[in-house]
Structure formats: C-alpha cells, structure tokens
Amino acid sequence: MIKTVTLPLAAALLAIAVAAPQAAQEDPWWDPDEGRTFPAQLEYANANGTLRLLLEDGPMETEGHPFFTSKGPDGRACVTCHQPADAMSLSIESIQRQWERRGAKDPLFAASDGSNCPSLPQGERASHSLLLDHGLIRIARPWPGKDYEGKPLKPDFTIEVVRDPSTCNLDKRYGLNSDEPHISVFRRPRPVANFKYIEAMGFAYDPKAGMPLTVDPETGKPVSGNLMADGRVLSLTAQMRDAASAHLGFLDELDAKDMERILDFERRIYVAQQRDAKGGDVDAAGALGGPMTLMTSRAGLLGSDGGMPVWAEFEAWEKMSDAEKAKLPKDVLEFRESVARGARAFREKTFLISDTSGINTPIGFGNPVRNSCVFCHNMSHMGMDVAPGQVDLGTTNMPFADPAPHLPLFRITCTGKPHPHYGRTILTHDPGYALTTGRCSDVGRITLQTMRGLSARAPYFSNGSAKDLRAVVDYYDRRYTIGYTEQEKTDLVNLMRAL
C-alpha cells in the first residue's frame, strides 16, 4: 500500500516566504506569566543542532493566554511542563537547570506531581529524584477508575504493589490502600504540537481491535485515540480538564473561553528539528525535513499527501547527483547519506515482532509477524500510528523492560482469561492502557508518541527508560533480536536526531 514518493511540496515550500528567524531567546526556559510574544518562528539550539517552532498565523501575545498563565495553587502553567525549547515536552537538562536555579521553589517541582510523592519532605532533592534523574511526572490514576462514559470499570485483574521506591503507592493518603485508592505511575510529558496529525483519523475503524473507532461521548464523533500514554482521554478538551485537575491542582479556573484559546494554540503550533550540527538544514538539497513540511502538508489517510511513506522526507539525499555530492563537505555528505539509509532501514529492515499485544493479538496478524519499524510507526511526517496506537512493546512489562529500580513495580493477576502472552500474572512498572480499559490483556500497552523534535526532549519512551536515541535502538535490537549492524544503528540514530 506504500506508493512511490513524489515530492509535490518541494516547489510549494520554496515559494513560501518564512518570517526572519527570531534570535534564539537568551533564556530558553519559559516561566509562567512572562508575557513574551510567541513569534511566528522560534529556534532553539540543542546538542544535535537546532529545533524550530512555527506558529501558524503567528505571532501571538502570551500575556494572559491560558497556556502561559499560572493557574492553581502551585503557580504553574501548561508551559511549565511543555517548554518550547524542549519541543513542547520537557528535557532532563531543563529540569536539572531549574532545580539548580530555584530548587523545590520552582513550580515545576510542586508536591502534587513534581515530586515522588506529596507526603515526602519537599525541600530535599531525593524527594524529586524521579523528575530530576528520569524526567518523570507522577500520574495518579484512581483505581478502579471509570470508563469514557463515566461508568465504573469492572476490571478483569487485580493490582498489588510489589516495590514502591516512590513511597506513593503504599502511602496512607495517596496509595492503593488509601480511602481514595490511586495507583501512581511515572511518565514523560508528551509534546504539545503537530496536533493536525495526532487528531487525524487514518482509518474508519480500529484495526487493532477489529472494531469501530471509539466515539467521544461529548461530541458523538469517532476519535483518533492517540492521546496520552494510556489513552485515558479522547479529545484535547478532555485532556485539558485532566491536566487542569491533575497537574495544576484546579479545575474551575479553566472556562470555555480558556479552553478554546488553548485548543487554538495547540492546533497552530508545529515543531521539528530544523538544522543538524553535522548535516546542516534538514530541508536542504530537496529534502523535506523540518516543521514547514508539517505545517503545509495535509493530514489524513496514512498521515498525509497520498500516503507518502514515513521519512521519505529524506529520499532526495539518496538521489543526489555526483555533481551535487561533489559540492558538499565530506562529513555533511556522509551524514546525509546516513540519514537517508536510516529512513530506509526504518521502513525496510524487517524482524520478527512477537508477543506484542496490540499487534500480535488481538488482531489476526499472527505471532510472530515479520515486519519493520514502520509496521507500528506508519503515519507520514510523524511516525506515530495511524490506527489508535496502544501497543505493548514491553517497555514497562517484565521480562522485557529495562531494569529500573527507581520505578514502582506492580503484580497484575488476571481474574478472567489469562493474558495471551504473559499468562495469569504480569509484573509491570505501568499497566498503561489497562488502567483505562480494565482489561488484563491491555497491561503495558502504551500509546505511540510522535517522533518529532526527539533531539530536544530526551529521555525516551513513556517511562523515560531510554536515555538517548542509541538506547532506543538498542532496546529494539534486544527486544526483537533484530541483529542490527553498527552501521544500521548509527543510521537509525542519525535519522531520528534529524526529525
């Protein structure tokens, strides 16, 4: 179903005049209530090059804008955890810098979820170690929770706490055995950008479940199902309510007008790496990297533009003529060729995908099934899944998860049918989608993230278990015994750092 690439946009893109880049802000950190102007184009340096943000129909005043204005008792704003320099997510580097500057007083480290548990002494570094050392925010989910229609879940599994380094799962007030039982899992902030794609529906049904797409009870319309690690909200509006009550500690202050303004901003902001320290501009020599392609492409089936294969952005770099090649410095040329090979390896290098709920079950792809990275990461320009993307890659479940003594460990016991791959009991750091559905077969299924702006927002995976891009590739190599060569690993890393 993958068509050959045409580059219909190249000419159009060249014709679009881009506002002059605003000089990189001296301080990359955005505090709440600063009242800066958000320009039409904004750039930030990172270890691998330069990230670019584009605000469609920008610039925009952030003074009084609800995404940038402090709300609730902790003085936080949405921007506190969704920082422009960090591709609208949050990097460990930024977190540690804020701690050095202001310690526990910075609103980022608020007791509610910027610490390992609110009952710990908040002035101490150790009480914020999950955020400081692993980039993780505490997410407290009521257990058992409610379904999308607000009816209590009837889970087909039980949860016990096996290990509780954060102290929050056994805490008298916040834990699983408290008066209001909650399970605390620890997750990375997901990027708030490029939503044209995240909200787009690639299929009229959910091929993973073989069922119609979930319908948002608020609007009566089917939804993409690609939000939050555990898919607990169905729309950006529902997400805002979740964020307002969970991270900002208030709910009533966000009125309909505020929500509309946040939504408007979320749908206009695009982010991607624009320049690589080794390879130069990622839209040079006919390539289509960078945020401009994102902003100007159509979102739809398989992402956009007639199903352009994922990361075909870089095909032009493989097709350069000898004359073009001769004009480039050797290291630039080598890097560009490596990115193009990485893009092809991503699509074409196959391996056996096994025991992966959301892929091998419950759908009929078989177990194992031979395919490539693209089997799951298929949306053009974005690399997430066009189908609702909850998949158990093993990042949070034993025996596949990396050792993570800092994370909680839960024992799940299936009370109905055993899990198709793990049997009756599962050890997990984060049950993921199962916290939303109450189904034991969903334990460890996590919604795929987008693959843009990766250079600006390490660490990776929802639980931050891959400290850099090489660790991501190494994880897959181990998990599916792929046997990548050193060169293939380097190519994949180079591809991802250019996104």
Which residues of this protein are in contact with ligand HEC, per CB under 6 A?
Answer: 76, 78, 80-82, 113-114, 137, 139, 187, 189-190, 192, 198, 227-230, 236, 239-240, 243-244, 247-248, 262, 346, 353, 356, 359, 373, 375-377, 391, 393, 395, 446, 448-449, 451, 454, 460-462, 472-473, 476, 492, 496
Question: How many angstroms separate the CA atoms of 263 and 266, rounded?
Answer: 5
Residue 495 Cβ vs ligand HEC, minimum distance, rounded to whole Å: 8
Environment class of 417 (CB within 10 Å of its CB; exposed 0-12, middle 13-18, buried 19+): exposed
Residues 285/317, Cβ–Cβ less than 8 Å: yes
Question: How many angstroms separate the CA atoms of 217 and 279, rounded?
Answer: 47
Residue 243 Cβ vs ligand HEC, minimum distance, rounded to whole Å: 4
> CB-wise, 9 or 244, nearer to ligand HEC?
244
> CB-wise, 52 or 429, nearer to ligand HEC?
429
> CB-wise, 285 or 313, nearer to ligand HEC?
313
Question: How many angstroms separate the CA atoms of 479 and 477, rounded?
Answer: 6
Residue 390 Cβ vs ligand HEC, minimum distance, rounded to whole Å: 7
Question: How many angstroms separate the CA atoms of 477 and 490, rounded?
Answer: 13
> CB-wise, 228 or 285, nearer to ligand HEC?
228
Q: How many CA atoms lie within 13 A of 38 on its CB side?
A: 26
> CB-wise, 76 or 196, nearer to ligand HEC?
76
Residue 396 Cβ vs ligand HEC, minimum distance, rounded to whole Å: 6
67: nearest Cα among 107, 34, 116, 110: 34
Question: How many angstroms separate the CA atoms of 378 and 349, rounded?
Answer: 14
> CB-wise, 13 or 194, nearer to ligand HEC?
194
Residue 33 Cβ vs ligand HEC, minimum distance, rounded to whole Å: 14
Residue 10 Cβ vs ligand HEC, minimum distance, rounded to whole Å: 26
Residues 100/377, Cβ–Cβ less than 8 Å: no
> CB-wise, 82 or 182, nearer to ligand HEC?
82
> CB-wise, 22 or 371, nearer to ligand HEC?
371
Residue 149 Cβ vs ligand HEC, minimum distance, rounded to whole Å: 20
Question: How many angstroms separate the CA atoms of 373 and 391, rounded?
Answer: 13
Q: Six-digit token pair at 122?
A: 């908040």
Residue 462 Cβ vs ligand HEC, minimum distance, rounded to whole Å: 3
Distances (CA, A) of 275 to 46, 52, 271: 10, 8, 12
Q: Tell me the one-letter amino acid at 314.
A: F
38: nearest Cα among 83, 102, 6: 83
